[in-house]
Structure 1
Amino acid sequence: QHLPVDEYNEPGGHAGSFGWFASGLVDVAALTGNPKYAAAVDRLWQNLVDTKMCITGGVGANGGIEGFGPPHYVHRGGYNETCAASGQVFYNYRLFLLTKDAKYFDVMEIVLLNGLLTGVGLEGNTFFYINPMEVNGEWGFNMQHQKGRFPWWKVVCCPGSISRTVPQVPGYMYAHEGDNLYVTLYAATETEATLTSGKVKVKQETKYPFEGKIALTIDPVKDGQQFALRLRIPTWAREKRFLPGKLYSFKEAPPPWSLQVNGKVVTPRMEKGFAVLDRTWKAGDKVQLDLPMPVQFSTAFNRVVAYNGRVAVTRGPLVFCAEEIDNGMQIQRLAAPQLPKPDQVKVTSIKEGLLKGMPLISFPGVERLEHEVLGNREFRVYLAQPLKPYEGKTRPATIRLVPYFSWNNRGEKSMTVWLPHKVEAGKKGVPLEWIAAKAEKAPISLVGNVTAIAIHNKSGQP
């Protein structure tokens, strides 16, 4: 960043460095109480989720600088460095502490479970530097042109980011202030918090993020203790979008969530994304939160050129992807020209192997029999393009998807997050302009980078 704080309007430069810089800026805002710092970090965050974040929470699509391009420049090829995901975890966590707003944890959870976890193999000893949305099984996208994760690399920032972020997750589960106890992440955990009114023990029992039922047992130090239990209700469970921001929208609104206290349905008030239960508590009180997890299909804002005509599949807080190993063909041959009806979508559990116990989503689609095979250079160009009309022969096929964080653990074959759906009327596969609204300006933070300057010039803006 090269501007005074008062002039910060959007992220720029190296995406990993931005996350750490922004985290520090939030700390300065908290320590000084200076409103200009708080206003700056809020503007930067809003611009990030509105124009620059992948559906996995990954940021930094411009591989030339491992950083940000102009607004809406996010594409299926990445770059989404693992370090940048780590920075987003720290940034959003601090924003929550500053504001007590659940929207920051909503983003942080998506980053943790998708954009960050994919950076490490399930056995914990191999790593991604780059986290693309689509590969063809031939393109060596990772360091040293590898098609999979590497065990070690002379630039060890990403393994280091994993090892310093994951151990902090237990500290992100709960927060408290005065007589307010926040449940910010859901997992089978227990803790003891010291509130103004006294100590409280909380125990969670759940299979989240694979299932949406969360059972909590509340044990205050004394019966009749009054405090507010605040349960985060994620964006994906209460709005028609997967995460905060203007980039992605569900095709269907989510079903209603529900809350019970000692077996009785309650309707809590909502404050900043939290369901608030402010009452007197006794030992053994039970709270049951039910967050339904239907399979959802998302489309992207039409200025995000690379996602035009495609859909992404999510369930709960997890992004899913189609891998060649589960589908028996190069994944670029598959398409979903008609979205399935709810009764056509199946969610089962993987029975064996490294992914045992994880959900497997399946639904009907088609195989494109005349799919064009591209060389690696052409494939990388294709990753930044909208869907083009496909009018050749097709035949029925079943599309199977697994959690994105688990991909590339069973072979280095093709994968995609964004499935071909249908070309929007009037688009005909023609790329949209980089910036459609002339009132918007390409970020001046791009100045000084050759790749970024080329993109800036294509936008036709001063």
Structure 2
Amino acid sequence: MKKNLLTLLLASTTACMATAQPAVAGYPYRQVPFTSVRLAPGSFFGERLKAVQKVTIPLAFGKCETEHRYENFVKAAHPSDDYVVDQFMRFPFDDTDVYKTIEGASYMLQSFPDKRLEAYIDSVLDIVAKAQETDGYLYTARTMNPRHPHPWAGMKRWEKVEELSHELYNLGHMLDAAVAHEQATGSKKFLDIARRYADCVVREVGPRAGQACVVPGHQIAEMGLAKLYLATGDKRYLDEAKFFLDYRGKTAIKNAYSQSHKPVTEQREAVGHAVRAGYMYAGMADVAALTGDTAYVHAIDRIWENIVGRKYYLTGGVGARHSGESFGNDYELPNLTAYNETCAAIAQCYLNLRLFMLHGDGKYIDCLERTLYNGVISGMSVDGGRFFYPNPLASDGNYKFNADGTLTRQPWFGCACCPSNLSRFIPSVPGYVYAVRGDDAYVNLFMAGFATLNVGGKELTLETMTDYPWDGKITIRVLENANKKASLMVRIPGWARGEVAPGGLYRFTDKRENGWRIARNGGYLYPELQEGGYMRINNVRKGDVITLELNMQPRTVVADKRVKDDLGRVAVECGPLVYCAEAADNNGVQLQQIYVKANADFSLVKGYNIWNTEADGQPFAVNALRTTAQELTKDADGNLALKRVGLTLIPYYAWNHRGAGRMDVWLKSTDVE
């Protein structure tokens, strides 16, 4: 089974649509299932999907073999006192690498059916199933040697779940993967395994006498349990998710690192581990949507405002500190030492999508888009085979920002949460493009392809043609529409309306005019029709052509003066993309001594290669920017002088494809404070 893995996985090329995944219930605004959206081959995100299908998922399955992830399950099926668990199992959450990769592969199966891949997953599930204890408990870090489990696990079940055991974290990822697998294949094999573990948790963990009254030390079970409730209709799972949230701040361990320092409804700012926080806030939204608990909504609204107004990087990343992989204080946003874990960016996408589905405001999609195009895809090389764990906004070529002390993108990590998380997240991106409420269809993201939406119980089929994010023209054709009352709600991005990001943490500094216009069948519409960041186009008909033109030009940005690391500096962005200066494109220029004007002019360089083609065999082109800057130098007499130099910038997500070197998002400026 294992020897021919990569050949087996690389063989799938046939695309078709499978049964649509049901959207999350309970939200006023409904996500359109990603299986109803087909991204165009060769488009920006079509290429990201291709990279994950062809490279990332096969790589992740291969690493599950070579890094002994499957072996952990085999050992758990045959426990022994001879196993010294932490000698071959570094972390007790290693099981989730298997679950997350299966989840991503299942998403791919729904768009790219492949019987051989389906059979391979089935054989992996045979290994997983044999490791499950008779009462449903499934945690290899303990089961393989119950007398001497992994040091993080504790001697009893749930004993260290609020600290390091990750028993419930493993459950959450298992549930997400199991639901995806059942939807993709129709098989309940994984769902039955996951449900037995969830039943074990429901029996043993809770507020009643004889139960372990604990909450997850690393959140995600809340989202998984909500998803399992929707898949099965069994309310016990939703009740368990709500217990995990309601009892935070009430159990033995109260710790801001894991957001258990106070009850969730009393929390007002984002603190602690940025991934755990994002997963918890997203779980609160799911539970609120399903139960109607408005106190949850008020709490996450407050926390979101704290994030975007004080703790949010220009790239949409979060988590300023290496220590604890955590949020910093308000306005603590260092660049060289920024952590910005890839998983934290993914968690922010989960959160912002859910806040949109609660409130219907385009500002949440503005944040989602910024994070997606910068903070998320920066974590994966353009070919899908190398990864970042942290995503700093500066590099001096020496600071060791990766968890294992390396300077460049890596094919895997000892703590492999980010590569496997990308394996499952990128294939789900088509499900972020559209949403529906009543007779209104929301165009949230601009991605070329086809989509069939259920609008008011009737089908609406759209074709989108665009080269976004490289070009600001988006053309939407209505191919079919059975609902004569259907309206299109087309998002007008905040950056096109003069707002860098919600919350006022950043602002444009140049004198360029913001601009956009939208036409229906060639007739331009009035901007006054906007609603919450959207342009309403009523009563669309088959054959209608909607054209959105966004004035996409490079613009300079400054941060709030309270962000001390960005004082006297500007950044550059064009459309949704943040740009950076990298040494590889600026030979001989000392980037740390470069000064850029706050109203600098830029020229566009299309088809700029950011990959070493001789070493890697395939060019990857981006739109680069060029400008004239000033470099601080010394003349022959040792006097300081400013010299005019050319400066090339590339999209931030594409940096570090040519090895370690200097990189800066925020550049010094002579005309900002």
Fold conserved (TM > 0.5)? yes
Instruction: Establish whether residue 246 from structure 1 lines up as the match of residue 494 from structure 2.
Output: no
Instruction: Establish whether residue 358 from structure 1 lines up as the match of residue 622 from structure 2.
Output: yes
Contact 2:608 2:623 in 1 (8 A): no
The match for 2:141 is none
Residue 30 of structure 1, aligned match among 278, 289, 312:
289
Shift of 1:337: 4.7
Contact 1:136 1:331 in 2 (8 A): no
Decide whether aligned partners of structure 1 residues 333 and 370 sit closer, same or farther in structure 2, where only a CA change above 3 A counts.
Answer: farther
Residue ranges of structure 1 left out of the alignment (5+ in a row): 372-390, 426-462
RMSD (Å), alpha carbons: 1.8
Decide whether aligned partners of structure 1 residues 413 and 120 sit closer, same or farther in structure 2, where only a CA change above 3 A counts.
Answer: same
The match for 2:470 is 210
Residue 150 of structure 1, aligned match among 410, 430, 434:
410
The match for 1:324 is 583
Q: Which has the higher helix share?
A: 2
Decide whether aligned partners of structure 1 residues 254 and 90 sit closer, same or farther in structure 2, where only a CA change above 3 A counts.
Answer: farther
Matches within 5 A, 1:341-352: 341=600, 344-352=601-609
Contact 2:491 2:534 in 1 (8 A): yes
Q: Higher mean Cα deviation, 296-305 or 74-83?
A: 74-83
Shift of 1:333: 3.6
CA distance in structure 2 between the partners assigned to 1:184 and 1:67 by the alignment:
29
Residue 14 of structure 1, aligned match among 269, 273, 285:
273
Residue 407 of structure 1, aligned match among 655, 661, 672:
655
Contact 2:509 2:598 in 1 (8 A): no
1:31-62 deviation line (CA, Å, top 9, x unaligned):
12122111111000001000001000110101
Quick one: which amino acid aligns to residue 61 of structure 1?
A
Shift of 1:255: 2.2
Decide whether aligned partners of structure 1 residues 330 and 160 sit closer, same or farther in structure 2, where only a CA change above 3 A counts.
Answer: farther
The match for 1:367 is 631
The match for 1:456 is none
1:239-279 deviation line (CA, Å, top 9, x unaligned):
2x322122110013642210000011111511111111112
Greater relative CO, 1 or 2 (CA 8 Å, sep 6+) = 1
Matches within 5 A, 1:98-109: 98-109=358-369
CA distance in structure 2 between the partners assigned to 1:411 and 1:214 by the alignment:
35
SS of equivalent residue, structure 1 residue 143: coil
Decide whether aligned partners of structure 1 residues 25 and 263 sit closer, same or farther in structure 2, where only a CA change above 3 A counts.
Answer: same
Decide whether aligned partners of structure 1 residues 272 and 135 sit closer, same or farther in structure 2, where only a CA change above 3 A counts.
Answer: same
CA distance in structure 2 between the partners assigned to 1:254 and 1:33 by the alignment:
43
Shift of 1:228: 1.3
Contact 2:569 2:672 in 1 (8 A): no
CA distance in structure 2 between the partners assigned to 1:8 and 1:254 by the alignment:
39
Shift of 1:424: 5.3
Matches within 5 A, 1:220-369: 220-222=480-482, 225-239=484-498, 241-252=499-510, 254-268=513-527, 269-279=529-539, 281-329=540-588, 331-341=590-600, 344-352=601-609, 354=611, 356-369=620-633
The match for 1:417 is 665
CA distance in structure 1 between the partners assigned to 2:608 and 2:297 by the alignment:
48
Q: Between Structure 1 and Structure 2, whose CA radius of gyration is higher?
A: 2
CA distance in structure 1 between the partners assigned to 2:404 and 2:343 by the alignment:
17
Contact 2:580 2:649 in 1 (8 A): yes
TM-score normalised by length of structure 1: 0.83
The match for 1:455 is none
CA distance in structure 2 between the partners assigned to 1:102 and 1:406 by the alignment:
27
1:303-351 deviation line (CA, Å, top 9, x unaligned):
100000000000000000001111113653442353455xx42011134
Contact 1:330 1:414 in 2 (8 A): no
Decide whether aligned partners of structure 1 residues 212 and 17 sit closer, same or farther in structure 2, where only a CA change above 3 A counts.
Answer: same
Quick one: which amino acid aligns to residue 579 of structure 2?
F
Residue ranges of structure 2 left out of the alignment (5+ in a row): 1-258, 612-618
CA distance in structure 2 between the partners assigned to 1:296 and 1:51 by the alignment:
22
Quick one: which amino acid aligns to residue 285 of structure 2?
V
Shift of 1:368: 1.9
TM-score normalised by length of structure 2: 0.58
Quick one: which amino acid aligns to residue 186 of structure 1?
F
Decide whether aligned partners of structure 1 residues 139 and 5 sit closer, same or farther in structure 2, where only a CA change above 3 A counts.
Answer: closer
